[in-house]
Amino acid sequence: MDWPETDFVGAKLVLLVGRRIVTIQRDDKPGLPWPGLWDLPGGGREGSESPEDCVLRETREEIGVRLTPADLVWRKFYQRPRPAWCFSARLDRSREHEVSLGPEGQRLALVDPAEWVLQADVVPHFRIRVADAMEALLGG
């Protein structure tokens, strides 16, 4: 089934701070998908919010960083495994102090994206999303 790009369940963000991406180790609770794996900021859509509103809200809630739609420099819709958007943004390294773990997740880390995509303990389908975002951010 082809999903229209307006029918989505959530949005994620590849946030490059300096030369590293922000990643969150998921909680390890029963019933939670991908427990304990490293994830990206973002999450589920609330009501009829737009993809941009979803990712900006989730980023603020999960890592305390306030971005604007103008900060989102890349976006792509993925149909699988669930219809969702992925965005990317860049922050200067001087803004690293703004990044802090919110109420969800076990830990937060800033990691080299080339190393992150090779880790065994990341949400599997986010590897390609990080690679796509980095190609767009760094121009190949």
Domain ranges of the chain: 10-138
Q: What is the pLDDT of residue 139?
A: 72
pLDDT above 50 (res 1): no
Q: How many residues does this entry show for the chain?
A: 140
pLDDT above 90 (res 93): yes
Q: Judge if the upstream peptide bond of residue 41 is cis by omega within 30 degrees of 0.
A: no
For all residues of the chain together, what is the average pLDDT?
A: 93
Q: What is the pLDDT of residue 2?
A: 58
Residue whose token pair is 């082809």: 2
Domain 10-138 class, CATH top level = alpha beta
pLDDT above 60 (res 53): yes
- pLDDT tier for residue 137 given thresholds of 50, 70 and 90: confident
Q: What is the pLDDT of residue 138?
A: 79
Q: Indicate yes or no: pTM above 0.95.
A: no
> What share of the chain in percent tops pLDDT 70?
96
- pLDDT tier for residue 113 given thresholds of 50, 70 and 90: very high
Report DSSP letters for 3-57, one per residue: PPTTS-SEEEEEEEETTEEEEEEPP--TT-SSTT-EE-SEEE--TT--HHHHHHH
